[in-house]
């Protein structure tokens, strides 16, 4: 018998497929990210009571063997809270374990917020990358955006409502002119779609921010092939210096960062950043007397 991965609706129950309904009805065991969420979904889909087991990162080591044992004898369905299991949700390691154990695996086609947002964005999709959730720490998050923008591809991301404003601020610090498409509560009653620069999208978000969020970042420059292709003109450099100053970075740090990413020679960038800071009324810090 197979282990069947069943994508579930992101919000609109009309998105469930007939095949998904058939599998959920036939399954003797439903493995769920959160059994409470799964139980409500099964009730909403008018599917009778099912045996439900929890499978998540915290208990995977303890329950995987039991799930695979059941899948050898009967149909076992795997669901996450919404969308495709394994895409930033539990599931991929269970699938790998099933394959290693010689158990057949099926994956049904169905909803995935990242792909929906990618198509909605209108950004180029001949090549694209799913990046998942950005790092939680600011420095690592900025580095992740810098690396993603340097690929020259559209990149797809998820983020929590609690962190989305900080995330957009960090993207603006790295690439103030980037084009962002953001969908909040995709397929749900209060769906919101926003398109613009990181700052424009952040300004359009209602406060407090609620719901699931996915966003796409367009290729930052059509000619970008490396990390060194992110800055292309003096106007770009001035904008990026201003954005980095707004986000609390020091002059020396800005000069080093921009030099590493192809904006010019470090001493010249230090002089430019110092002048931009002077024009904005900022004073010197003790560690900004020399570019080093």
Interval 166-218: pLDDT, tens: 999 999 998 988 999 999 999 999 999 999 999 999 999 988 999 999 999 99
Residue 289 · residue 252 · CB < 8 Å: no
pLDDT digits (tens, 9 = 90+) for 153-162: 999 999 999 9
CA triplet 129, 188, 167: central angle to 5 degrees? 45
CA triplet 244, 248, 254: central angle to 5 degrees? 45
Task: Tell me what pLDDT residue 233 has.
Answer: 53
Least-confidence region, from 52-61, 132-141, 219-228, 269-278: 219-228
Residue 146 · residue 171 · CB < 8 Å: no
pLDDT digits (tens, 9 = 90+) for 108-141: 999 999 999 999 999 999 999 999 999 999 989 9
Question: Exposed/middle/buried for 282, CB within 10 Å: 0-12, 13-18, 19+?
Answer: middle
According to CATH, the topology of domain 113-217 is 3.30.950
- The pTM (predicted TM-score) of the whole model is 0.72
Task: Tell me what pLDDT residue 261 has.
Answer: 67
Helix, strand, coil percentages (3-state) for the chain, rounded to 5, are: 45, 15, 40
User: Which residues, 6+ apart, have CB-to-CB distance to 113 below 8 Å?
Assistant: 10, 82, 83, 158, 183, 186, 212, 214
Position 58 pLDDT exceeds 60: yes
Task: Tell me what pLDDT residue 291 has.
Answer: 47
Place of tokens 């694209």: 128
Task: Tell me what pLDDT residue 236 has.
Answer: 67
Position 66 pLDDT exceeds 60: yes
Q: What is the mean pLDDT of residues 251-260?
A: 82
Task: Tell me what pLDDT residue 232 has.
Answer: 47
Q: What is the mean pLDDT of residues 92-109?
A: 95
Start-to-end CA span in the chain (Å) = 65
- E-state strands within 23-125: 29-32, 51-54, 76-79, 105-107
pLDDT digits (tens, 9 = 90+) for 268-283: 888 889 988 888 875 5
User: Which residues, 6+ apart, have CB-to-CB distance to 31 below 8 Å?
Assistant: 52, 53, 54, 55, 67, 76, 77, 78, 79, 94
Q: Place domain 3-107 in its CATH homologous superfamily.
A: Tetrapyrrole methylase, N-terminal domain (3.40.1010.10)
From the CB of residue 171, how many other CB atoms can be counted at a distance below 10 Å?
29
Q: What is the mean pLDDT of residues 61-69?
A: 96
The residue among 244 and 223 whose pLDDT is bigger is 244
Rounded to the nearest 10°, the torsion over CA 244, 247, 252, 257 is: -50
Peptide bond into 208 cis (omega under 30): yes
Task: Tell me what pLDDT residue 45 has.
Answer: 95
Mean pLDDT (the chain, rounded): 88
CA 132, 89, 14, 211 torsion: positive or negative? negative
């Amino acid at each position: 018998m197979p282990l069947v991965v069943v994508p579930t609706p992101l919000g609109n129950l009309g998105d469930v497929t007939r095949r998904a309904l058939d599998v959920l009805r036939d399954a003797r065991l439903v493995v769920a990210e959160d059994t409470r969420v799964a139980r409500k979904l099964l009730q909403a889909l008018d599917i009778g009571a099912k045996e439900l087991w929890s499978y998540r990162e915290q208990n995977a080591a303890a329950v995987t063997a039991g799930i695979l044992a059941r899948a050898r004898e009967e149909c076992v369905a795997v669901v996450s809270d919404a969308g495709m299991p394994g895409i930033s949700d539990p599931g991929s390691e269970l699938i790998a374990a099933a394959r290693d154990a010689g158990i057949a695996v099926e994956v049904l086609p169905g909803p995935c917020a990242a792909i929906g947002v990618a198509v909605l964005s209108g950004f180029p999709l001949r090549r694209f990358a799913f990046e998942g959730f950005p790092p939680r720490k600011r420095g690592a998050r900025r580095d992740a955006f810098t690396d993603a923008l340097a690929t020259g591809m559209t990149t797809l991301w998820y983020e929590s409502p609690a962190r989305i404003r900080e995330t957009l601020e960090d993207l603006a610090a790295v690439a103030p002119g980037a084009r962002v498409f953001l969908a909040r509560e995709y397929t749900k009653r209060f769906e919101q779609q926003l398109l613009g620069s990181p700052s424009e999208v952040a300004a359009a978000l209602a406060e407090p921010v609620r719901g699931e969020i996915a966003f796409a970042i367009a290729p930052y420059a059509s000619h970008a092939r490396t990390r060194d292709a992110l800055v292309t003109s003096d106007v770009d450099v001035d904008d990026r210096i201003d954005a980095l100053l707004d986000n609390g970075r020091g002059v020396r740090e800005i000069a080093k960062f921009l030099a590493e990413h192809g904006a010019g020679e470090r001493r010249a960038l230090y002089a430019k950043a110092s002048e931009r800071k002077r024009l904005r009324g900022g004073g010197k810090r003790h560690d900004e007397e020399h570019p080093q």
